[in-house]
Amino acid sequence: MADIKELLNAAIEIATIGGKHTLNYFKKDFEVISKADDSPVTIADRETEQIIREEILKRYPDHGIIGEEYGRTNEESNIQWVLDPIDGTKSFIHGVPFYTTLIGIMIDNEPVVGIINAPALDELCAAGIGIGATLNGKPCQVRNTSELKDATLLVTEIKRFQDCGMEPQFQELMAKTKLHRTWGDAYGHMMVAIGRADVMFDPILNIWDAAALLPVLKESGGIFSDTNGEETIHSGNGFSTNKALYLQVKAIFDAHK
């Protein structure tokens, strides 16, 4: 049986190494390449993922890896590390410090460890199932807002809701909450987990975007769920909130099915 505490400590160390490497390029001149889906990628993304992969395989040569930039390694392993070397590449490119280095660990396809490292802000949020969640080593938790009318809503970008047919859900969420802000990505989910915001909604998520989020939200006393109410990283969308607001948010999604 894998030791979650050991995996958590290793993931914190490796995410710190990877995040530190991104700072070599942050606010510097570098080439931006468009991938097949028109999303941007930089040399910083690719070098950072390569460094993280090397660190994982140095410690755990039999473990699997799923990465945004370099695909899958050791697919047969029941322990899979899921990597997004720079989540929020558009923020990174623009010199905005809200990008993160993400590491999630799955055992038998269930996420058990999550790291959200914001190296430009020197903030690292880490969680292991049954162990708790921390921000820079100190326990963190969601805040106790109980009504949407008092809540702060975060999203990454508004156009994405139009593109995927979820604009009505977003508009209702925006109308029913007190405040909304963008520049979200995984940092938005982290802000929910550490008590700076109340709801973060991403209508489009890949597994490497989501794998770190579920353990962090769960262990900080919140919920990470898809719009159908399933606590999963595999549905392609997700929102984070606290338990008091969860049913109110889910009711909005239910109303637009």
User: How far apart are the C-alpha atoms of 198 and 223, rounded to whole Å?
Assistant: 11
Average pLDDT over residues 42-63: 95
Residues 131 and 154 placed together within one structural domain of the fold: no
Question: What's 34's domain CATH number?
Answer: 3.30.540.10
Q: Is the pLDDT higher at 123 or at 38?
A: 123
Residues 162 and 233 placed together within one structural domain of the fold: yes
Residues 11 and 126 placed together within one structural domain of the fold: yes
pTM above 0.85, yes or no: yes
pLDDT given at position 59: 97
Q: Which range among 23-37, 82-96, 161-175, 213-227 shows the weakest confidence by mean pLDDT?
A: 23-37
User: Hey, what amino acid is at 22?
Assistant: T
pLDDT given at position 229: 96
User: How far apart are the C-alpha atoms of 176 and 139, rounded to whole Å?
Assistant: 30
Residues 159 and 233 placed together within one structural domain of the fold: yes
Residues 86 and 169 placed together within one structural domain of the fold: no
pLDDT digits (tens, 9 = 90+) for 1-46: 579 999 999 999 999 999 999 999 999 887 777 665 556 678 889 9
Residues 135 and 152 placed together within one structural domain of the fold: no
Q: End-to-end CA distance of the chain: give it in Å, rounded.
A: 41
Q: Is the pLDDT higher at 154 or at 37?
A: 154
User: How far apart are the C-alpha atoms of 82 and 79, rounded to whole Å?
Assistant: 10
Answer whether residue 97 shows pLDDT above 80.
Answer: yes
Into how many domains does the chain fold? 2
Residues 248 and 181 placed together within one structural domain of the fold: yes
- The two structure tokens encoding residue 16: 């710190």
Residues 214 and 156 placed together within one structural domain of the fold: yes
Cβ of 5: how many Cβ atoms within 10 Å? 12
Domain termination site, one of 139, 157, 189: 139
Domain termination site, one of 111, 139, 167: 139
Residues 215 and 247 placed together within one structural domain of the fold: yes
Q: How confident is the model at residue 257 (pLDDT cuts 50, 70, 90)?
A: confident
User: How far apart are the C-alpha atoms of 94 and 106, rounded to whole Å?
Assistant: 32
pLDDT given at position 9: 98
Q: Is-contact 49 39, C-beta < 8 A?
A: no
Domain termination site, one of 102, 118, 139: 139
Residues 182 and 62 placed together within one structural domain of the fold: no
Q: Is-contact 250 244, C-beta < 8 A?
A: no
Question: Mean pLDDT of all residues in the chain?
Answer: 94
Q: Is the pLDDT higher at 104 or at 35?
A: 104
% of the chain with per-residue pLDDT over 90: 88
Answer whether residue 151 shows pLDDT above 70.
Answer: yes
Question: What's 236's domain CATH number?
Answer: 3.40.190.80
CA 115 vs CA 68, 164, 189: distances in Å? 16, 28, 12
Residues 224 and 245 placed together within one structural domain of the fold: yes
Q: Is the pLDDT higher at 129 or at 28?
A: 129
Spell out where the chain has E strands. Answer: 32-34, 40-42, 64-67, 71-73, 79-87, 100-107, 110-118, 123-128, 132-135, 138-139, 152-154, 179-181, 199-202, 222-225, 238-242
- Domain holding 11, by residue range, is 4-139
Answer whether residue 132 shows pLDDT above 70.
Answer: yes
Residues 251 and 185 placed together within one structural domain of the fold: yes
CA 27 vs CA 30, 93, 236: distances in Å? 9, 8, 31
User: How far apart are the C-alpha atoms of 87 and 103, rounded to whole Å?
Assistant: 10
- The two structure tokens encoding residue 84: 């997004």
pLDDT given at position 36: 56
pLDDT given at position 31: 72
Q: How confident is the model at residue 139 (pLDDT cuts 50, 70, 90)?
A: very high
User: How far apart are the C-alpha atoms of 245 and 94, rounded to whole Å?
Assistant: 33
pLDDT given at position 40: 67
Q: Is-contact 56 74, C-beta < 8 A?
A: no
